[in-house]
Structure 1
Amino acid sequence: MLKWFIVSMNKSALLVRLAIVIGFASIAIGFLSSQLFYKLTFNQEVAITQQSLGSLYKTIAATAATAAYLAEKDLAQEVVDGLATNEVVLNAKMNFENIDVVSNTNTFVEPVVFPIQSLFEVDKSIGTLVIAPNIQYIEERARQLAFDNSKAMILQAFVVTIVAIFVAFFLITRPMIEIARALHKTVPGEGNRLTVPDFHQNSELGELVNDVNVLLDKTEQQFTRERKLRKEIEALEKRFRMLFENSMSPIILMEPRGNIILFNVAFETILEKLNLQLKKSFGPLLENLFAEPEKLLGCVELAFANDEIATGEFKLQTSEDSASVWVQVVVTSVVNEDLREYYQITLHDISKRKKELESLAYQADYDKLTKLYNRQGLEKEIDVFAEQQRPFCLALIDLNWFKRINDIYGHESGDEILIFVADRIKKTLRTQDFGGRWGGDEFVLLLDGADEATTKDIVTRLVQRISKPYFLRKFNQNVAVGASVGAAFYPENGVKIQEIINLADQAMYIVKNDRDTDPEKSLKFAHELVTQEIIHVKRK
């Protein structure tokens, strides 16, 4: 108990503050009460003195009346002297028949006058009796009595304070300390609860303990839910991190300005592939990684303007000696609870698919043997020229004596000749021109914006190169081929592509049919055809 009491007596304790308040209140009340009691005691003593003087008067009234009636001065003197012996009487005086009898020489202060009644006539006054009360004695006695009462009241206040402190300690402070210590040891979620102190089942402290227990119940329920949710979140986080870290596709979370917040291992891998070091920023939307960043930015801006996810296929920036890296980019705008915007960027490496598509496109548009455009590839380029209404010359080439070489020396030798011709075409054409294998031993030249003179110059140089002997190592034999060329111009000779092709074909076959009679002529233009020449020519 003493330990509890000492603990509760620190300077900030509720019991100490309560004791101080009660003590000051008791002192103040005692002081005010003593002052009030002093006044009341004094007035009461004065009243008692007056009553005492009245009682004295009644005691000596008969003797005083006898002395006055008989005019006995000595008897009167005995009366006043007897009165003066009383503690409350300072002085006494009798007056009758012009005779004054005084007990002593003290001054009469606030004297009380009593009439001396006749012994025979009740209503007749035969003298007066003057009694001076002893004011000093009365005040001293009143002061002493008030002082004694004040001490008693202060002692009473002290006792009340001590009792109040102990009562407060046993009924309030100690239970509160017990509650505080129990609450301090209570860990929410472990099932611990507070015990209601004795005698407080229905008090405010009891209600407080019950409310705290209810709060602990709710807190424990909340903790249970939070633990369950935390476990679920941790499980989800592990799964997400597993997916995030093990994803084959780079995933990046970044600020719109370009600062990278989060990335996975795949992003580091692709940086190594690009021979780049990881750093905090590669520019907005990682634009420094792309060969054509303006296309990426334009794609994202357009998608975000329509509240869509931005997607597109873009080429990464690589060194000249490195293989091309293509990625499918998926950009999503994410806004968190603080209304801060982030970009989630996912890069899917499509280099292999892109390479396969390019290979398929190449196979579809290029001749496998000569590595020139095939007929389909040439037709696509012709369509582009036509759509853009760009003038061009279409020269159709048929090799002379090729079938004979192919029959004599075999298809492998024939393939060598075709490769040889394709090489000469590549070396003869200008950078803006196109050449391709039309089929078999036929080739086509697509000359961008060429006029008749340019076409003649190109065809002449090509025929000269093709006509030079070619050495077949397998047979240790030189062979030679020639070329018959027919040319038509777009749009001078027609605006329909098939019409241009037909005119060039007819012109080429006229040259081919005349090669024996006019071997020096290897080129004929469509506008040189006469009506009788525009006929169907049987291929030989």
Structure 2
Amino acid sequence: MNKSGLLVRLAVVIGFASVAIGFLSTQLFYRLTVNQEIEIANQSIESLFKTVQATAATAAYLAEQDLAQEVVDGLSTNEVVKNVVMTFEGKSVKANSEPMHNSMIFPIASLFDPDQSIGQIAITPNIDYIKTRAEQLARENSKAMIMQAFIVTLVAIFVAFYLITKPMISIAKALHRTTPGDGSRLRVPEFHGNSELGVLVHDINKLLDKTESQFSEERKLREEIEALEKRFRMLFEKSISPIILMEPRGNILLYNSAFEQTLNKLGRNFQKSFGPLLSELFVEPETLANAVEVAFANDEIATGEFRLSSINDAESVWVQVIVTSIVSEDLREYYQVTLHDISKRKRELDMLAYQADFDKLTKLNNRQGLEKYLHNLIEAESPFTLVLMDLNWFKQVNDIYGHKSGDEILIFVADKIKKAIRPTDVAGRWGGDEFVLILNNADQTQTTQVVERLVHLISKPYYLRKYDQNVTIGASAGAASFPTDSSELQALLHLADQAMYQAKKVKESNPSDFLRFAESLIEEDNA
């Protein structure tokens, strides 16, 4: 049996209470019994006196000591009387030698005149006898009360066990076996349909119903959260764009596989931090940091296109960066960085820009690219010499051997131009068989050297493999300088074209005179 069980503790409490109450009741009953026995003894003594009153009155009236002795001896034979003394006419008759204490005095009335006292009788109660009897009665009553208390205790324990303890233990065991959410409920104990225990069971069942409902809702919410988490992870992990969750100081908290693939493409290994805003991965981290700072200052999402830094010789990687500031419930700030690879689009744009400004056949600048470059030089007021060059005898080669052979000659000329000009110079195909040289900061001597070197290279025989023939071409060129000859582009082009025309007129008669300057045309016009 459990020493701390409710029944044991209840029995102990009832037992102690019964013993305490029995002890107090015994003491009280003893005192009451003693007092009651003394009162009964006093009444008995009064009754004894009344019994012998007439005889005592006769003895006193006649002054008969023998009769008086018989009276006191008769009284003293009673158990409640300890001693008796009868006094009359100066005489005293005593039953025995016991001391007289706390005696009861009864006057002896005259037989003829009841109001006249002719003597008295002093009766001393037998207090020891009375107390002994009282104690005996008290002990017997105490035993009876203790037995009664014991029986009451047993009955109380029995009643408490079957009406309170047993149902409560049954409820406790059933509750202990009950698992919230399994549908089981407690049974109301017998005879307790409307009692406090019945109400308790009903309340527990209501609590189980509510708990089961909450469990069901929580289970449903958990399933929804798990489904959302799976979808989020699927979106996060399967995203083709790198997604990184990081602290402002640079510590990476979460990333997807696309970020690892990007690192592999850059020839880098993953590390816990690449600096604030992944600065170590960008060619221009300062520009990115400034863009993010400005966007966040205006409470906006930071976006921009930036180039990633590769530690190998792989092709450049351009990404669109989207940085979002996230503040959690505990007021901590995080950055979500998303990188969209725009390298292909960047290459396509570069290719479109190249195709817009470069000749597809010769890979030199086309007319549009040359005009852009010339406008930039004029706006910057940077001196240059514009050389317009036309190929000699190209039309005959093109007519005889076809356009493909003509294209071979144009590619051949473009290759020689690249070798003849200086690193600071720019060249391009103006159209057809016309080419333009833009010689930065070149005087007439430097211009003549470049053009002579170029004409010398292209004048060498070119072998047409398809026709097993060598063909020879030449070139005539005209030059105009900015800002010496003119500060306007169209005027420079016109002057260079006129100078080239003058050189072309003497290509047959004087092939070595292949370069004319606009300055000479101006002097001729002035002359």
Partner of 2:298: 306
- State the AA in 1 paired with 2:153: T
Task: Give runs of ≥4 in structure 1 deviating > 6 Å.
Answer: none
- State the AA in 2 paired with 1:404: W
Deviation for aligned residue 1:191: 2.4
After superposition, the Cα gap between the structure-2 partners of 1:468 and 1:121, relative to the gap in structure 1 and judged at 3 Å, is same
After superposition, the Cα gap between the structure-2 partners of 1:531 and 1:481, relative to the gap in structure 1 and judged at 3 Å, is closer
Instruction: Confirm or deny: 8 A CA contact 1:438 1:444 kept in the other structure.
Output: no
Please state if 1:487 is matched with 2:481. Answer: yes
Please state if 1:512 is matched with 2:500. Answer: yes
Question: Comparing 132-141 with 367-376, which one deviates more in the overlay?
Answer: 367-376
SS for the counterpart of 2:182 is coil
2:240 to 248, 255, 275: 248
Instruction: Confirm or deny: 8 A CA contact 1:469 1:479 kept in the other structure.
Output: no
Instruction: Confirm or deny: 8 A CA contact 1:385 1:391 kept in the other structure.
Output: yes
Q: Kindly report which structure 2 residues correspond to 1:54-203, keeping only aligned pairs within 5 A, or say none.
A: 54-203=46-195
After superposition, the Cα gap between the structure-2 partners of 1:375 and 1:319, relative to the gap in structure 1 and judged at 3 Å, is farther
Question: Comparing 436-445 with 84-93, which one deviates more in the overlay?
Answer: 436-445
RMSD, aligned CA: 2.9
**TM-score, normalised relative to structure 2:** 0.87
Instruction: Confirm or deny: 8 A CA contact 2:80 2:125 kept in the other structure.
Output: yes
Alignment partners' CA distance in 1, 2:524 and 2:65: 197
Deviation for aligned residue 1:142: 2.4
After superposition, the Cα gap between the structure-2 partners of 1:112 and 1:468, relative to the gap in structure 1 and judged at 3 Å, is same
- State the AA in 2 paired with 1:265: S
After superposition, the Cα gap between the structure-2 partners of 1:133 and 1:443, relative to the gap in structure 1 and judged at 3 Å, is same
Please, which runs of 5 or more residues in structure 1 have no aligned partner? Answer: 1-8, 495-499, 534-540
Q: C-alpha deviations, 1:239-280, integer Å up to 9, x for none?
A: 333333322222233333333333332222222222222333
Partner of 2:393: 404
Q: C-alpha deviations, 1:190-238, integer Å up to 9, x for none?
A: 3222211110000011111111222222222223333333333333333
Please state if 1:422 is matched with 2:417. Answer: yes
Alignment partners' CA distance in 2, 1:382 and 1:164: 119
Please, which runs of 5 or more residues in structure 2 have no aligned partner? Answer: 399-404
Alignment partners' CA distance in 1, 2:87 and 2:105: 11
After superposition, the Cα gap between the structure-2 partners of 1:148 and 1:530, relative to the gap in structure 1 and judged at 3 Å, is farther
SS for the counterpart of 2:393 is helix
After superposition, the Cα gap between the structure-2 partners of 1:383 and 1:506, relative to the gap in structure 1 and judged at 3 Å, is closer
Deviation for aligned residue 1:510: 4.5
Deviation for aligned residue 1:145: 2.6
After superposition, the Cα gap between the structure-2 partners of 1:233 and 1:369, relative to the gap in structure 1 and judged at 3 Å, is same
Deviation for aligned residue 1:322: 0.7
Deviation for aligned residue 1:285: 2.9
Question: Comparing 205-214 with 153-162, which one deviates more in the overlay?
Answer: 153-162
Q: Kindly report which structure 2 residues correspond to 1:370-449, keeping only aligned pairs within 5 A, or say none.
A: 370-382=362-374, 390-400=380-390, 402-408=391-397, 411-424=406-419, 427-430=421-424, 434-440=426-432, 441-445=434-438, 447=440
Alignment partners' CA distance in 1, 2:79 and 2:136: 16
Q: C-alpha deviations, 1:123-145, integer Å up to 9, x for none?
A: 11111211112222222322333
Please state if 1:465 is matched with 2:453. Answer: yes
After superposition, the Cα gap between the structure-2 partners of 1:155 and 1:239, relative to the gap in structure 1 and judged at 3 Å, is same
Q: Kindly report which structure 2 residues correspond to 1:521-540, keeping only aligned pairs within 5 A, or say none.
A: 522-524=516-518, 529=522
Partner of 2:32: 40
Instruction: Confirm or deny: 8 A CA contact 1:370 1:422 kept in the other structure.
Output: no
Partner of 1:5: none
- State the AA in 2 paired with 1:461: Q
Deviation for aligned residue 1:514: 4.4
Q: Percent identity?
A: 55
Q: C-alpha deviations, 1:409-436, integer Å up to 9, x for none?
A: 65235403541353046x4143xx6544
**TM-score, normalised relative to structure 1:** 0.85
Partner of 1:206: 198
- State the AA in 2 paired with 1:26: S
After superposition, the Cα gap between the structure-2 partners of 1:172 and 1:341, relative to the gap in structure 1 and judged at 3 Å, is farther
SS for the counterpart of 1:311 is strand
